[in-house]
Amino acid sequence: MSNPITTLVAVLIFPGLSFILTYALWCQWVSRKAAARLQNRQGPLHTGWQGTLQPLADFIKLLVNEDITPAAADKPVFNYSPIAVFALPLAATFLIPIQSLTSLWGWEPIVSFEGDLILVLFLMSVVILAVFLGGWSSGSLFGAVGATRAALMMLAYEIPLSLVAIGPAILAGSLQISEIVDWQVASVNAFLRAPSIQGLAVVGVLFIGVVIYVICLLAELELRPFDISEAETEIVHGWQVEYSGKKLALLNAGHDVKMVLAAALVTSLFLGGPAGPILPPFVWFILKTTFCVLVLTNLSVLFARLRIDQMVSGAWKYLVPLAVLQVMAVVALSGVI
């Protein structure tokens, strides 16, 4: 990005802040409408066409609500945690390749350097720290229980998540997300020209990786069956219980941006990023991430909520060994190819 005008437009408008925020609202609408249709009901309906403006309406409504800080809360931490929960995933989306502003068929991300996959994973983990601080500083019993549960959940899913994300990086020989996408495009083209057993084996191993990755993402995004830290019927909204008004609006927006980031990561690491025939890259990006959001919503609607001890023991008994085996298989295959 040499031209400062191009950089400014990229950061602020497209594919930066405005695009990500609008797209986050769109993803929330897709998720809500799909969940509603799966449950045989209407979903958002009256605001805008089929309710597409409903997430925006909810956001604006929360902005004008009264913002109460409990007297027993630790005020600086309580006030600044929502900012961290909102800003960190947003920063991570700058590293995902979506669309280049200089050429119609290119897809350089706004910032890109060797090892930015590690930075993205790190930013996603730091969000949990902000969640924990936000719940603990709220001064409420339910907030403390929710914050503890969020921290416990992190112990369960962080390791398989990171292990499986490294798989494509090993195969591509680089920790830079745009390089991984380029490698995927090149290998798919090579496979289509000359199919081989190793290619099928790679696809199979990566498929197992995607399954594990999606399960860990359900835990990261606090969706059922892993919405334990915000269980409505048990601890009344968990770590978010004392937030209201503008802070809650930021938290909800942060949740939507996290969902965009999660879908974008699955797309870039496993589904070939914004690459695809005929259409420009950002259209492919939108199609593939919407598909990921639909899959996540379907899984979320399908299950009941698990208990925290069941989730942690299940993750360590099944997910971690499977993730380790998957990485070992990837290493073996990358040596063979």
Partner 1 sequence: MSEREFVIPIGPQHPALKEPESFLFTVDGEVVVDVEARIGYNHRGIEKAMESRNYIQNLYITERVCGICSNAHQTAYTGSVEEAGGIEIPERAKYIRVFIQELERLHSHLLWVGVAAHEIGFDTMFYYVWRDRELVMDLLEEISGNRVNYAMPTVGGVRRDLNKDNFTRYHKILDTIAERTNYYIKVASTEKTILERAVGVGYLGKEDMIRLSGCGPNARSSGVPCDIRKISPYLIYDEIPFEHIYVDNGDVLGQVLVRVLETLESVKICKWVLDNIPDGEIAVKFNPMQRLPEGEAAYIVEAQRGELIHYTISDGKNMPYRHKIRAPTMANIPSLIERLKGGYIADIPITLAGIDPCFSCTDRMVFYDEGKDKTWTWTEGELSKYRKEWYSK
Partner 2 sequence: MAMERELLKNAFSKPCTLIYPFEKLEPPEGLRGKHEYDAEKCIGCGLCARVCPSFAITLKGGPGPKCTGLLVDLGKCLFCGQCEEVCPRDAIWLTTEYELAVINKADGILDFERTPPPPKTPPKKEE
State the residues that interact with partner 1 by CB under 8 A. 38-41, 141, 145, 224-225, 227-228, 231-236, 301-310
Partner from partner 2, partner 1, none contacting 37, C-beta within 5 to 8 A by type: partner 2
Partner from partner 2, partner 1, none contacting 34, C-beta within 5 to 8 A by type: partner 2
| Cβ 308 to partner 1 shortest distance, Å | 7
Closer residue to partner 2, CB minimum distance, 1 or 57: 57
Q: Does 298 bind partner 2 (CB under 8 A)?
A: yes
Closer residue to partner 2, CB minimum distance, 41 or 193: 41
Q: Does 61 bind partner 2 (CB under 8 A)?
A: no
- Residue choice 3, 18, 22, 37 for contact with partner 2 (CB under 8 A): 37
Q: For the window 110-139, what string marks contact with partner 2 as x by the rule CB under 8 A?
A: ------------------------------
Closer residue to partner 2, CB minimum distance, 45 or 60: 45
Q: Does 36 bind partner 2 (CB under 8 A)?
A: yes
Q: Does 211 bind partner 2 (CB under 8 A)?
A: no
Closer residue to partner 1, CB minimum distance, 120 or 228: 228
How many Cβ atoms from other residues are within 10 Å of residue 42's Cβ? 12
Size of the site for partner 2 (CB under 8 A): 12
- Residue choice 18, 39, 103, 189 for contact with partner 2 (CB under 8 A): 39
Chain positions contacting partner 2, by CB under 8 A:
34, 36-42, 45, 298, 301-302
